[in-house]
Amino acid sequence: MARSALRKLGRAVLAPAMAFGAVVGLAAAPASAAVWNTCDQWGNTSLGGYKLYNNIWGSGAGSQCFWANSATNWGVWADHPNTGGIKSYPNSTKTINKTIDSISRLTSSYHVSVPSSGAYNTSYDIWDTDHEYEIMLWVNDHGAVGPLGTWQGNVTLGGHSWNVYKGSNGHNQVFSFLRTSDSHSGTVDIKPILHWIAHTKGWMPGNETIGDVQFGYEITSSAGGRDFTTNSLTIDGG
């Protein structure tokens, strides 16, 4: 299964060379006029301290449009075929740029509405500044999707119970935390998760600098068009 490191590291190379199929109008945008929208493959903007990114990166992707009422109230309408492989990761990004040991607080609250069909996960994607380590926190998932690597056990951290997986995609280490039951709203205390990875397990250094905390939807399939809505989101890095 292709992982998001390939998505992030490869986009600068792939973007000029890849052509994206026909785009559609923002039929799924809310009735109130969005402050920003795009159907571009790599469409992005900075808004309210966050970066919003349409990020259609996978092969065989269909159409996807991103709308935003604010940096923390946004969504996508996505129509990706019923085939394997991640097609996109539309997301909102907050830059932290602090070492794990110097972070005094790193919390996030989310409230999402997701479809009852298709294949996807709703997840945080957390990166160090060198892109050597990737931490994914899945708060819900649906359909034929699964994490990279092997199961390491179950742990309760940051206010949630997780199944933990560890692996490598050939470019970086990936630590995936899958919530043991789906959640559409909640608060995650990310700091103890990072501390557990670095100091309890020793999988990464405590002086590693956390760069970006992203929140969005890894979409594998959404044939016929599906709505993914971030009703509210906060990422607080202290």
Q: Is the pLDDT of residue 18 over 90?
A: no
- Which of 215, 224, 25, 27 is CA-nearest to residue 117? 224
* Model pTM score: 0.88
**Domains identified in the chain and CATH numbers:** 4-236 (2.60.120.180)
Q: Is the pLDDT of residue 106 over 90?
A: yes
Tokens at residue 46, please? 């900075």
Taking residue 150's Cβ as centre, other Cβ atoms within 10 Å add up to 9
Give the pLDDT score at 175: 98
What phi, psi does 206 have (nearest 5°)? -70, -20
- Which of 60, 113, 74 is CA-nearest to residue 223? 60
Tokens at residue 5, please? 């490191």
Q: Is the pLDDT of residue 131 over 90?
A: yes
Confidence of residue 26 (pLDDT cuts 50, 70, 90): very low
Give the pLDDT score at 32: 56
